């Protein structure tokens, strides 16, 4: 199941947060749009898939529902933009980017997003008794003002299992989140390649 259609595992987790995720499209102190908005990853810059090709969707306004399972609640409302990527098989990805009002606000937002991701596994288990979740921290990356990389594994009582990699990076007042996911567990996660993708995502913002 690609990320755009794989409702079997995370649908129940996402539905409860969709209303909040929609609210995140409203501005709350976002910086005015500039002549040179942050740039997004291209499909070729994602972790290579062994048997399929990445396809990139358009850059779209709003907070992506693909990240609602971890970031659908407690995230400040800004003018988010996002791009969804998919393969023909079971792997998908998403990037969301926001320009806050200042470097201080960008730093605070990045810290909050990392905190929400770190607590994601516990919140999933509390809200969904049929799901077991485990989070891992893969460290920080020396790019611009820094980036942090996380992993999340979920398994349902009926046997569905998913692995996700998530990162939060910042360049001044601009924050970007990259998410990658597929069926499987931590053993199948391309952590090294995802770190390269994260560094590229932050590097190419401007």
Both tokens of 185, joined, read: 């567990």
DSSP alpha helix (H) spans, 95-203: 103-118, 120-127, 191-203
Average pLDDT of the chain is 86
Residue indicated by tokens 């960008």? 106
> Which residues lie across from 86 on neighbouring strands?
55, 92
The pLDDT assigned to 6 comes to: 43
Give the confidence band of 51 by pLDDT, cuts at 50, 70, 90: confident
Task: Label residue 46 exposed, middle or buried (CB < 10 Å: 0-12, 13-18, 19+).
Answer: buried
Calpha distance 103→81 (Å, rounded): 18
The pLDDT assigned to 2 comes to: 41
What pairing do the DSSP bridges indicate for beta strands 81-86 and 161-171?
unpaired
Kindly state the average pLDDT of the residues 92-102: 97
Contact partners, residue 123, CB within 8 Å, separation at least 6: none
């Amino acid at each position: 199941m690609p990320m755009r259609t794989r409702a079997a595992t995370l649908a129940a987790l996402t539905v409860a947060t969709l209303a909040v995720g929609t609210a995140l499209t409203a501005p709350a102190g976002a910086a005015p749009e500039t002549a040179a908005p942050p740039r997004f990853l291209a499909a070729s810059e994602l972790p290579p898939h062994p048997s399929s090709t990445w396809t990139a969707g358009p850059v779209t306004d709003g907070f992506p529902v693909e990240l609602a399972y971890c970031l659908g609640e407690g995230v400040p409302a800004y003018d988010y933009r996002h791009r969804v990527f998919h393969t023909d098989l079971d792997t998908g990805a998403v990037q969301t980017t926001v320009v806050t009002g200042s470097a201080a606000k960008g730093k605070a937002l990045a810290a909050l997003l990392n905190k929400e991701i770190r607590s994601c596994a516990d919140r999933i288990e509390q809200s969904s008794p049929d799901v077991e979740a485990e989070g891992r921290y893969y460290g920080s990356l020396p790019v611009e003002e820094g980036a942090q990389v996380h992993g999340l594994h979920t398994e349902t009582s009926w046997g569905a299992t998913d692995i996700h990699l998530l990162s939060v990076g910042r360049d001044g007042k601009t924050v970007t989140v990259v998410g990658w996911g597929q069926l499987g567990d931590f053993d199948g996660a391309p952590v090294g390649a995802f770190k390269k993708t994260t560094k590229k995502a932050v590097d190419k913002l401007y």
